[in-house]
Amino acid sequence: MGRIRIENLSRKFADVTAVDNIDIDVRDGDFLVLLGPSGCGKTTLLRMLAGLLEPTSGRILLDDEDITTAPARRRDVAMVFQNYALYPHLSVAKNLGFPLKVKKIDKASAVARVEEVAQQLEIAHLLERKPKELSGGQRQRVAVGRAIVRNPKAFLMDEPLSNLDAKLRTATRRELTDLHRRLGATFVYVTHDQVEAMTMATRIALLNHGRLEQLGTPEDVYDRPASVFVAGFLGSPAMNLVDARAFSIGGRVRVSAEGIEASLWPGESDSRDVVLGIRPEHLTPLHPGADSETGARITVDVTSVENLGSEQVAYCMVGSTTICVRAPRPIALHEGQPAVLSAELRHLHLFDRSSGRRLE
Ligand code: ATP
């Protein structure tokens, strides 16, 4: 088992609150990705789970055992660092076997276990080499192997792919996902890369200024962002976010701004400032004669169209805001011309402007 309960956890450094009252229940077998911009507190949170940093307040439970203040070596978790932290003077075999030596496992069992893990990660032919004689990708595998070797309840990984080139990163991403499946262990994985998060996570915890903005599956956070911050962080190109005003007419909520008219769900709304969000892939040029009761209709001037090969991206002005449209080629939008765009109701996101939280 490897359930980690993070309860009201905070960490302050002088006047900075790096982690601010975070609650996450990491389920056994989860691949939880801690995602967020630089400085949002991801590493601080991970280091507290590893026992490398003491919380200012709150609790950490590993399978019901309170490990909040337990030293790192007493926790049944293994950390993979961004720079791999291999011992340069030790061979790969000795690096892999190090955690077993610390645990005082007998030598024959340790050798057998190192062999087994090396086979699993396809590094058995490298056992006699020193870290400096390895490629970046091979070093990364040794670092992962050293974590696997003692069968911990949970793996904690701090941007383990950031030192690899783009191609190797993609391949290693798949390997880590496979490994997670095979081991069935709990992974807590720090990254600021949304592609890593979307492709690897069973759940994503999105952090901002030390606070938890949203916790959910990749589909949850992408399809139903809980705040303007989440909406703008995930997706490339980013979600279009336009200031608008919401009100209701005839028992239906409507949204309007210069060039934008949207008719939303039935209900009453006080007249209020909102942010309307629409992903670039959900905007399409309106077909002549099309008429829908609900959804958004946006009148724009097309300023530029970029060709990305398989698809095109158009930038358009609506009022004083630039919005982006993404569609397979050929996109029916032309530089320098006006156009009318539409989006279906199910693709509209509405946020309160002052709190930034999702409305509905
Ligand atoms: P990155 O993606 O850049 O690694 P992060 O999300 O991991 O960022 P943290 O390293 O956890 O962020 O830092 C969170 C905040 O805490 C930052 O404002 C950082 O400057 C501050 N901080 C982290 N460690 C310390 C420290 N030892 N002393 C003082 N401030 C710190």
Between residues 270 and 335, which one has the greater pLDDT?
A: 335
Spell out the residues 6+ positions from residue 90 whose beta carbon is closer than 8 angstroms to its own.
Answer: 98, 130, 131
Domain boundary among 218, 233, 248: 233
Q: Does ligand 1 lie within 6 Å of residue 13's CB atom? A: yes
Across the chain, mean pLDDT equals 93
Going by C-alpha positions, the residue among 22, 30, 23 that lies closest to residue 2 is 30
- Asked whether the predicted pLDDT for residue 293 surpasses 90, the reply is no
**CATH number of the domain to which 24 belongs:** 3.40.50.300
**CATH number of the domain to which 319 belongs:** 2.40.50.140
Shared-domain flag, residues 12 and 141: yes
φ, ψ of residue 62 in degrees (nearest 5): -110, 110
Shared-domain flag, residues 194 and 287: no
Residue 21: per-residue pLDDT: 98
Distance 43 CA to ligand 1 centre (A): 7
Shared-domain flag, residues 43 and 150: yes
Question: pTM of this prediction?
Answer: 0.92
Inter-CA distances, 358 with 229, 244, 330, Å: 10, 14, 34
Mean pLDDT of the 105-128 span: 91
For the chain, the domain total comes to 2
Domain boundary among 173, 203, 233: 233
Mean pLDDT of the 350-355 span: 96
Sheet holding 65-66, edge to edge: 16-26, 4-13, 57-62, 65-66
Q: Whose CA is nearest to atom 11 of ligand 1?
A: 41
Helix/strand/coil for 14: coil
Alpha carbon distance, N-terminus to C-terminus of the chain = 37
Shared-domain flag, residues 229 and 81: yes
Domain-embedded: residue 150:
yes
- Asked whether the predicted pLDDT for residue 288 surpasses 80, the reply is no
Q: Write down the ipTM of this complex.
A: 0.97
- Asked whether the predicted pLDDT for residue 26 surpasses 90, the reply is yes
Residue 61: per-residue pLDDT: 97
Domain-embedded: residue 360:
no
Residue 332: per-residue pLDDT: 85
Distance 71 CA to ligand 1 centre (A): 21
Tokens of 331: 């996109």
State which residues form the domain around 153: 4-233
Condensed to tens digits (0 to 9), the pLDDT of residues 177-188 reads 999 999 899 999
- Asked whether the predicted pLDDT for residue 291 surpasses 80, the reply is no
Q: Whose CA is nearest to atom 21 of ligand 1?
A: 18
Residue 199: per-residue pLDDT: 94
Domain-embedded: residue 359:
no
How many percent of the chain have pLDDT more than 90?
Answer: 75
Shared-domain flag, residues 185 and 202: yes
| Pocket residue to mutate for ligand 1, from 33, 42, 52, most atoms within 8 A of Cβ | 42
For residue 313, the one-letter residue type is: V
Shared-domain flag, residues 74 and 206: yes
Distance CA 209, CA 296 (A): 33
Shared-domain flag, residues 126 and 179: yes
Residue whose token pair is 């402007």: 353
- Asked whether the predicted pLDDT for residue 348 surpasses 90, the reply is yes
Q: Does ligand 1 lie within 6 Å of residue 18's CB atom? A: yes
Q: How far is C-alpha 224 from the geometric centre of its chain's CA atoms?
A: 14
Shared-domain flag, residues 306 and 246: yes
Distance CA 35, CA 43 (A): 10
Spell out the residues 6+ positions from residue 346 whose beta carbon is closer than 8 angstroms to its own.
Answer: none
Q: Which of 161-175, 235-249, 307-321 has the lowest mean pLDDT?
A: 161-175
Residue 279: per-residue pLDDT: 97
Q: Whose CA is nearest to atom 25 of ligand 1?
A: 13
Condensed to tens digits (0 to 9), the pLDDT of residues 147-174 reads 999 889 999 999 988 888 888 888 889 9
Shared-domain flag, residues 286 and 316: yes
Shared-domain flag, residues 119 and 61: yes
Q: Which of 4-8, 274-278, 284-288 has the lowest mean pLDDT?
A: 284-288
Work out whether the CA dihedral 123, 124, 130, 133 comes out positive or negative. Answer: negative
DSSP labels for 94-152? HHHHHHHHHTT--HHHHHHHHHHHHHHTT-GGGTTS-GGGS-HHHHHHHHHHHHHTT--
Are the CB atoms for 183 and 152 separated by under 8 Å? no
Shared-domain flag, residues 101 and 221: yes
Distance 197 CA to ligand 1 centre (A): 20
Domain boundary among 186, 210, 233: 233
